[in-house]
Structure 1
């Protein structure tokens, strides 16, 4: 559209020609949007807001009187606020390249001032401190011309070949070299130890491998030996099982034969022996009964014979009184007593005979049974 102007994102549009300015400036500031500008009656100019760079290379004298060449780089730009844009526009709008030149000169002056209050050691070892002090001292001055500094970097410090910095760094270099040598020696030693450890590990691995291989070989040999013996062992085991089976069969046959012998010989013999024993016992019992019966018969016969002989015995006793002078004091009663005495003597003789008979047959026969020999003896006594 004719007369409508729009600034770039990194630009500020300055519109002059109107009655009203901005912030006491003879122009109005427009950023971030467009503006309708009357042709002929208004004039439009643009001020860059982008980042710019300035380099400083300045020879400075330190607190110790040693000259140093210091190089630095400053990154700066126009501030985004209206006041900074107005200040920068009034100073640099016609020649915006002058911003870098002026900035470098401002920082060169502050750099000389601050380095003059520091020693070489402080400058070399505390570069960040140096940069911060330069920024702090230049901040207000840069704000007056509408510029802000984003960063200041000290690029290099040179003692102009006086050798001071090298001499200052010599102990550190020596210490560093010594530490480097120590580190190198330690690294070499560590490398040697690592190599030796690797050799030991290699040897140990070889030993373990040999042991494992020998173990495997022994197991293989054993397995082969077992396999080689498996056939004979199986045959021997089978033969042993056959022998055991035959032995068990023979034992069972022997047991069966023994049972047959018991059934055929022992049992019949035991039965025959039992029959003979029972027969003998029965026969003995029969003979005992017959003997008892015979003994009873003999005793009855003996008693009968003694009874038959009793008058004769009394008679023989009375014969002893023949011719004897006997006085009978009490008459018939006395005779009766004499007769009774004779009979008593006969009975006593009879009893003696019985006892005699019992003593003759005392070997197990206490029942008074008379044997023929005893009877014969009594008969002989009677005859006497």
Structure 2
């Protein structure tokens, strides 16, 4: 059975009169023997209209009671809560009559004082305010998100730039290390080349010096041979003739010396015979002559030595 539960001008807990219309689906539970027995006891001599009226009056009474325990705002804003309370209270009462409440729904809320309209306007203003706030918050959130996105983008760009700079730095460091290695290798190669060149020059110089030594040795040998030749030539041309001349002069000197001595002895003997007075001058004369010959002999020797 469908019941239209209308409660006109009921004062809420705030004393505001409102009217509520609800729709309920009810039925007699024939499958449950206890509920069927209770229904028979309650409605055995009643007609269907009378049964509907009893169920409607019961529902409307509970609906009024719930309206009086809630505020207009609670009923208006939380219809599910209101419907649930009416359903639970009415079901516990009607079940004793063998009637089951299948469902209950709040259909309409109205008032004659314009409270709901004001509430709606307030709600509308609140909604508009919330909408404006929401819009402002949305714009703020959008700006914040945009700022965050920009910050993240800048951070990403900075990170990317940092990574690029780091990669560039690593590349430059590796390139510098490679350049240093290449320069070191080149320097080592150049030093090795210069060292090898120096060794080659040194070896060539040593060989040249050896050649010069050999040449000098040969020159010395040639000079020694020349000196020996000249000595032989000198021996043949100067020394031997000089020695021969020396020997001749010495022999001549010796012969003259002997001759002079003999002459002196002869003259001395003659003078001795003539007298001792004339002997001394004669001996002096002879001695002078002898010294003269000796000087000549010494001079000849010195000349040969100078030659």
Instruction: Classify the TM-score, shorter chain.
Output: 0.3 to 0.5
More helix by proportion, 1 or 2?
2
Between 1 and 2, higher relative CO (CA 8 Å, sep ≥ 6) is seen in: 2
